[in-house]
Amino acid sequence: MLLNPIWCYHGFVCAVAILTVFGVVMVFSSSSVTMVSAGLSPWRQAISQGTFALVGIVAFAVAFIMPYRRYEKPRILRFLVAVALFLQFLTLTKLGIDVNGNRGWIGVGSLTFQPAELLKLVLCVALPVELLRARRRVHATPVQRYALVVVAYVLALALVIGGRDLGTGIILVFIGVVAFWACDFPRKWLRLAALAVAVGVVLLAVLSPNRMQRILATYQGCASGDEQGTCYQSIHANYAMASGGLFGVGMGNSREKWNYLPEAHNDFIYAIIGEETGFVGAAIVLLLFVVLAWCLIVVACQMPNRACAASLLCFTVWLVGQAMINMAVVLGLLPVMGVPLPFVSAGGSSLVMCLTAAGVCMSMMKEQPQIKASRAKA
């Protein structure tokens, strides 16, 4: 049963639905006190998250209905890549909004949007298609084949890093590594690129005092007197997880959400989940992401269309890899970095794009022969 693509097809959509609904509930629980203390309705953030969930469900349905062949059309893909890159570029202009040191948002009036979420989605589809198309150009030199794809990917990574968003940059690196590896990019070049990325990440960490403080606080412990500084968020995340015990303190009864834990409804919502639902609730959320990863990998391994298979693997490292990083940060296994928990954390850009990505995955998965046959019988 675990290797049955039909089971995985239905298991995937069930896991996405449960995480999305649970996310709206937890956003309300973790943000209500913050909203009241700001003089706003305790339902404000939950209503916003619920609205974005509805928009995301519509986007999911559209992406699901659209035939997967549409995703392989060069003009459509290249147009989407150009739009995503342009929007990401706007974050570095006057339209860009700085949030907690990261310049990764653009705003028009009261609306804000994080273009990097769209960029992740577009790259998960475009990189495998374009790499396989380049590989088929047998009469061109390797440089001629891959130049356009590599330049577009490096530009995307540079624009994100230019906004000081190293967390999102790491996710883009994961997506790129899987895409280039799965599509038989020359292994010599891939090794050189991996070395360059590793050196770049080290330099970005060493040259940023703030990042170095977070890294040292994670792996060497907090310096005396730093409990109210770099370590503050991590310490209170640990307090929340420790307070939860096995079954939690009960929904709505978190203590840390009383303005002690910053970003309690966003990047650190997993800490509130651990506090209110305990080890059991936190483990179930982790298990749901394991189900997502398993289902995507199983179907990808049985997918005759290589571009779809590679795209599904890219979506896996985005959605599940980002979730693992978020949880590891909350648990103190990784330094603090601003990556939300997919489907769960507050944030319209992330939720809508994650649900759209799930719809694209479902559109590709339904073309797997066994899944396609079962749908034809239904």
**pLDDT score of 10:** 94
In the numeric block, the tokens 């990556």 are attached to 339
Please determine, for residue 71, whether its predicted confidence score (pLDDT) is greater than 80.
Answer: no
pLDDT of residue 225: 56
pLDDT in tens, 278-321: 999 999 999 999 999 999 999 999 999 999 999 999 999 999 99
> Among the listed ranges 183-197, 209-223, 247-261, 288-302, which one has the minimum average pLDDT value?
209-223
User: What is the structure's pLDDT at 118?
Assistant: 95
Q: Quick: pLDDT tens for 113-145.
A: 899 999 999 999 999 999 999 888 877 777 888
Q: What is the pLDDT of residue 224?
A: 54
Q: pLDDT tens, 338-367?
A: 789 999 999 889 999 999 999 999 999 998
CA-CA distances (angstroms) from residue 264 to 64, 108, 192, 217? 32, 26, 39, 20
CA 211, 259, 117 angle in degrees (round to 5)?
50
Average confidence (pLDDT) over 43-61: 95
Tens digits of residue pLDDT in 257-272: 888 888 888 889 999 9
306: exposed, middle or buried (C-beta count within 10 Å: 0-12, 13-18, 19+)?
middle
Predicted confidence (pLDDT) at residue 337 exceeds the cutoff of 70: yes
Which residue pairs, CB below 8 angstroms and at least 24 apart, start in 99-107?
Answer: 99/338, 100/263, 100/338, 101/164, 101/210, 102/163, 102/164, 102/165, 102/338, 103/162, 103/163, 103/164, 103/165, 104/160, 104/163, 104/165, 104/168
Taking only the tens place, the pLDDT of each residue in 26-50 is: 999 999 988 988 888 889 999 999 9
For the chain, domain boundaries: 5-377
How do residues 85-104 score in pLDDT, each as one tens digit?
A: 999 999 998 888 887 777 88
Q: Which residues of 141-168 are buried (b: 16+ CB within 10 A; e: fewer)?
A: eeeebbeebbebbeebbebbbebbbbbb
pLDDT on residue 55: 96
Say if residue 274's pLDDT is above 80. yes
Average pLDDT in the chain: 89
Cβ–Cβ < 8 Å for 329, 339: yes
The answer to whether 31 touches 346, Cβ cutoff 8 Å, is yes
Q: Residue 197 — pLDDT band, cuts 50, 70, 90?
A: confident
